[in-house]
Amino acid sequence: MLRRIKIGILAILVLYTLPVHVIAQNPILPVGTYIADPSARVWNDGKIYIYGSRDESVDYYCSYDHYVISSHDLIHWDIQKDAFHSRGDLDEVPYNDDLLWAPDCAFKDGKYYLYYCQPDMKNPEGVAISTSPNGPFKNAKALNIGKHTQIDPAVFIDDDGQAYYLWGQFSMKMAKMNPDMTSLDESSIRDNIITEDGHFFHEGAFMAKRNGMYYLVYADISRAGRPTSIGYATSKTPFGPYKYGGVIIDNDNSDPAVWNNHGSIVEFKGKWYVLYHRSSHGTVMMRRTCIEPITFNDDGSIPEVEMTSQGAGKPLDIYSDIEVERACLLHGNAQFQLWNPNNEELAKINNNDRAIFRYVDFGNGGVKTVEFKVSPGKYLGDIAINIGKPWHQRIALVNVPARKGDEKWITVTADVSATGGVHELWLTFLGEGNELFSVDKFCFKK
């Protein structure tokens, strides 16, 4: 009997540690999994890996563990849990039980090095090691970063094999790493590589190299006094001097309370992408990783790109359910909220709030009706659907009744005027009063 119990426990543990497989566009991960600060790496197996912090609460940033996200095509994603823990039964940090903030990962000589940071200002940053890109990462120890006790580590290994360690807020610090990849050459530590005044640097630095040019990518505070942008600066040498290049992407209007951004750029199968996060739930937390293709001009500069719903995939298929959390922009008070552990709704909708989807594919036309799953509120309202912009062609007006009983969800439909092609889709919510109704998903019918 004891043998059977042991076998059963082992089977459960194996199933628990196997990666979870999901298919997604933006956000790339399913509801209930909130990964921020994505650092993207492409290892020797040809897959892309994302190392980021995991939000679990609206009351504090991040959590006490790290997941590793990976993909072979940017559409199908595997989620590896239990990559690293700072407390509990799988605790690998011997000197505290603090939260785990934004990490990074580097590979050298057959080993993967996870660089983590915590709110413990005595030992804010550390490193743990694994023989697998998915972890688990073991034998954690604090890093010697001298008097510069700040956060957000990143590691860059140059073509000659020299590794550089980056970190800091408001002014970025940088040092050469020793060959062991677990300590810094303290004599090489330099401050003010980039700064808030000179480069709009807030935090979250990441380094990449392309055509002999070094790119520092970071949370950029150049707009509206908030670091909602991913900005960049360039240099011909790792330590600079760096010239500010501009904004790559701005996550403003991803949520009414959005505050920060943090991400990376990476080349994957011959194309370049920016990884970033968006806030949700009407908070600065509950952030979700997203991805967009980027390009480079002949001079090496990066044109700004917009947030989209499709991400690295194709435009959304209007004949399949479009979950409302695919909206890439929100205007007004509307915000995503969990209504069960595996589903979100667009809630707290006020009059004239809007949700925008980039982009949706109507094909050759033939759409006849649209169907919404909604939760009625106290007041009746409408959902106006426009393509292009909210003042461009209106293709449908969906009436949403006021709540009559205890029903949570109902289906409402409306006729759609004929249209075809790929478009930006705008939903405008209309009605009297606040918190009109909630929306779960919608689809179009032939």
Which residue from 412, 416, 413, 410 is spatially nearest to 446, judged by alpha carbons? 416
What's the CA gap between 121 and 145, in Å, rounded?
11
What pLDDT does residue 107 have? 98
Query: What average pLDDT does the segment 430-440 reach?
Result: 92
What pLDDT does residue 121 have? 86
What pLDDT does residue 147 have? 86
Residue 13 scores a pLDDT above 50: no
Given the candidates 2.40.10.10, 1.20.1290.10, 3.10.180.10, 2.115.10.20, the CATH classification of the domain at 21-294 is 2.115.10.20
Residue 268 scores a pLDDT above 70: yes
Query: What average pLDDT does the segment 344-361 reach?
Result: 97
What pLDDT does residue 88 have? 97
Which residue from 295, 378, 293, 279 is spatially nearest to 336, judged by alpha carbons? 279
Query: What average pLDDT does the segment 406-434 reach?
Result: 93
Residue 16 scores a pLDDT above 60: no
What pLDDT does residue 20 have? 62
In the chain, the percentage of residues whose pLDDT exceeds 90 is 87
Helix (H, G, I), strand (E, B) or coil at 65: strand
What pLDDT does residue 405 have? 83
Tokens of 273: 């992408």
Give the CATH architecture of domain 316-445: Sandwich (2.60)
Per-residue confidence band for 10, with pLDDT thresholds at 50, 70 and 90? very low
Q: Does 21-294 match 316-445 in CATH topology?
A: no
Secondary structure of the chain: what % helix, strand, coil (to 5)? 5, 45, 45
What pLDDT does residue 311 have? 97
Instruction: Give tens-digit pLDDT for 210-219.
Output: 999 999 999 9
Instruction: Give tens-digit pLDDT for 144-188.
Output: 988 888 999 999 999 999 999 999 999 999 999 999 999 999 999
- List the domain boundaries for the chain: 21-294, 316-445
What's the CA gap between 374 and 436, in Å, rounded?
11
What pLDDT does residue 70 have? 98
Instruction: Give tens-digit pLDDT for 83-129.
Output: 999 999 999 999 999 999 999 999 999 999 999 999 998 899 999 99
What pLDDT does residue 146 have? 81
Q: What is the DSSP string of 140-173?
A: EEE---TT------EEEE-TTS-EEEEE-SSB-E
Per-residue confidence band for 5, with pLDDT thresholds at 50, 70 and 90? very low
Per-residue confidence band for 21, with pLDDT thresholds at 50, 70 and 90? low
Residue 6 scores a pLDDT above 60: no
Residue 243 scores a pLDDT above 90: yes
Tokens of 21: 């497989």
Instruction: Give tens-digit pLDDT for 276-301.
Output: 999 999 999 999 999 999 999 999 99
Residues 6+ apart with CB under 8 A from 168: 148, 150, 151, 152, 191, 203, 205
What's the CA gap between 330 and 353, in Å, rounded?
8
Longest dimension (CA), the chain: 71
Mean pLDDT of the chain: 94
Query: What average pLDDT does the segment 35-52 reach?
Result: 98
